[in-house]
Structure 1
Amino acid sequence: MNWYRFSDLAIDDDEISMLRRVHIYVCSSKDLEPESAGGTEIGKMLFHLYRQGVRSELGLIRMVTEGEPPPAAEAE
């Protein structure tokens, strides 16, 4: 049986805000609504990665968008 400390399971307000930012960013880059089925799957992936120890905003973005081309630069 796996034993977890409460601190391993608890997510504070700053972490929730960061996960929301990443979720919105990734959904936007994939042209998905965050509340859509695809957006929900991205949210699940982000939460899973976070629980596995990926705690940086950039790290989460990279893990979820790996293999995808970067967003195109806007024409000036």
Structure 2
Amino acid sequence: MILSNEIKAQMRRVGLTQEQLSAKLGINQATLNRKINEPDGKNLSVKEALAIGNALRLTPESLTAIFFAQELADTQD
């Protein structure tokens, strides 16, 4: 599960619009919107998550919490 609200909040903190972020990632804005807002994030690759994290200046801890925490917890069962 992706914490899309946290992504959007960090975008505001660093002063990036979704259009600017999609340009940095080299993908269409509508595609980025779908990937961020997809409930389970299935269409978001690890490479894309890392690129978003870099663009938004996320710490490794924040990156994990926003993109991977639930998936990692699910694999521990």
Same fold (TM over 0.5): no
**Greater gyration radius:** 1
- TM-score in terms of structure 1 length: 0.32
